[in-house]
Amino acid sequence: MKRWDVIISGYGTVGRQAGRLLLERQERYRKRYGADVRIVGALRSAAGSYDADGLTLDQLRAFSADAGAGRPEWTGADFLESCAYHVLIEAGPSDIQTGGHALEAMRAALGGGKHVIAISKGALVADYPGLSALARENGVQLKVSGATAAALPTVDLLAYNLAGCEISLMEGIFTGTANYVLTAMMDERLSLTQAIERAQQMGIAEPDPRFDLEGWDTACKLTILANAAFGAPLRLSDVKREGIEQLTHEQLAAWRAAGLVPKLVGRLQSAQGRVEAAVELRLLEPTHPFVHVRGTTKAVRVETDTMGELLVIGGKSDPVAAAAAALKDLEHLLQQSG
């Protein structure tokens, strides 16, 4: 039986869920793919837990529970370059300026001929073309479901469900937090501040919600999607961007009176080999399918040449779903090698 040794770096909330789910599914991987999948390492920026025979759930829990656990020599790019494994799952914090530790980890893994499954967006936003080239040169894959709307299929949808189609448009509601805030303002007439506070109490919004509300989160996802799904070397600075951080009660009342529904929509449009990306505050007629996409729910709509249009709505927005999306990517690797 083929061994598949996995390291999870940036081991935090999502990484823990990925670890737990992976161990739950080990028996399934054996039966379905003849694959003996093990987690050999769990790494944080300062230290790591490692066992070449595979870490148990108890070992992973002990590492999670104690900030001082693990060994400092078992982490970082040097460790990832020197040690034996097949797949890196990167789930660390996003640094969209430099890519941070996550970018170093991904470069080390891809450069060493390991597959990379990215959950955090920062490294992909900072240097998708470089990482993609590194994967190609080393004959391995760079998978990004966890970083591009997670449980809502996006890259998959184009590369697999619509394989062979020309895609002229992909647009969607890609940021659950922004959609939650907008829905609360429209449906429950909360002010922007009230809606943000509620989202923060529910654990949906970050203490600093600007990344989501100013459209940066959607813009990052569009940047990755343009690269991964359209093959266009788009950068974050190429994305036109609007947010919802300036909306007033008065504006919303006027739109409500006019029967319009505001939504923060990310759009990728492809024509004559050129891909254009924009995050836009759109005022939708009540018949538009995105009008029914409420709260933290996400959605994507694509237009094709031969298969018509597809609209996909849903996919949970929580750490378990993000982890499950990354394990979907892992399963694609197992399927392809089977």
Q: Which residues are annotated as a binding site?
A: 10-15, 121, 206
Pairing between β-strand 261-271 and β-strand 240-241 as defined by DSSP bridges = unpaired
Could you give the string, one character per residue 148-167, with x where binding to a copy of itself holds by CB under 8 A and - elsewhere?
Answer: --xxxx--xx--xxxxxx--
- Residue 207 or residue 308: which is nearer to a copy of itself going by CB? 308
Q: How far is the CB of 296 from a copy of itself (least distance, A)?
A: 10
How many Å apart are CA 10 and CA 27, to the nearest integer? 25
Of 114, 221, 263, 298, the catalytic one is 221
| Stretch of residues binding a copy of itself (CB under 8 A), selected from 127-135, 205-213, 250-258, 330-338 | 330-338
Q: Which among 312, 279, 80, 254 has a CA at the least distance from the CA of 175? A: 279
* Helix intervals (H) in 190-289: 192-201, 210-213, 216-230, 249-257
In whole angstroms, what is the distance from residue 97 CA to residue 99 CA?
6
- Does 243 sit near a copy of itself (CB under 8 A)? no
CA atoms within 13 A on the CB side of 312: 20
Of 206, 270, 281, residue with least CA distance to 232? 270
Q: Judged by CB, which is closer to a copy of itself: 48, or 146? A: 146
Q: Does residue number 260 form part of the binding site for a copy of itself (CB under 8 A)?
A: no
Rounded CA-CA distance 76/243 in Å is 36
Q: Is residue 316 a contact residue for a copy of itself (CB under 8 A)?
A: yes
Residue that has been written with the tokens 């999306």 in this structure: 325
Can residue 309 be called a binding residue for a copy of itself (CB under 8 A)? Answer: yes
With binding defined as CB under 8 A, does residue 262 bind a copy of itself?
no
Q: What is the nearest approach in angstroms of a copy of itself to the Cβ of residue 311?
A: 5
Q: Does 169 bind a copy of itself (CB under 8 A)?
A: no
Task: Count CA atoms within 13 Å of residue 145 on its CB side.
Answer: 26
The C-alpha atoms of residue 252 and residue 10 are separated, in whole angstroms, by 40
Q: Does 23 bind a copy of itself (CB under 8 A)?
A: no
Distance CA 105, CA 8 (A): 10
Pick 74 or 290: Cβ nearer a copy of itself: 290
* CA dist., res. 242 & res. 114, Å (int): 38
Residue 307 contacts a copy of itself per CB under 8 A: yes
Q: Compute the radius of gyration of the chain from its Cα atoms.
A: 20
In the annotation, is 143 catalytic?
A: no
**Site size for a copy of itself (CB under 8 A):** 40
List CB contacts of 133: < 8 A, sequence separation 6 or more.
none
Q: Can you tell me which of 61, 198, 241, 328 binds a copy of itself, judged by CB under 8 A?
A: 328
Q: Which residue from 93, 113, 259, 314 is in contact with a copy of itself, where contact means CB under 8 A?
A: 314
- According to the binding rule CB under 8 A, does residue 335 interact with a copy of itself? yes
Q: Is 289 in the site for a copy of itself (CB under 8 A)?
A: yes
Q: Which residues contact 70 (CB under 8 A, 6 or more apart)?
A: 42, 43, 44, 46, 47, 48, 49, 63
The reply to whether 284 sits near a copy of itself by the rule CB under 8 A is: no
Q: Is 310 in the site for a copy of itself (CB under 8 A)?
A: yes
In 3D space, the residue among 66, 72, 105 whose CA is nearest the CA of residue 89 turns out to be 105
- If one asks whether residue 311 binds a copy of itself (CB under 8 A), the answer comes out as yes
By the rule CB under 8 A, 331 interacts with a copy of itself: yes
Annotated binding site for L-homoserine: 206
Residues at the contact surface with a copy of itself, assessed by CB under 8 A: 21, 25, 28, 150-153, 156-157, 160-165, 289, 292, 306-316, 320-321, 323-325, 327-328, 330-332, 335-336
Catalytic residues: 221
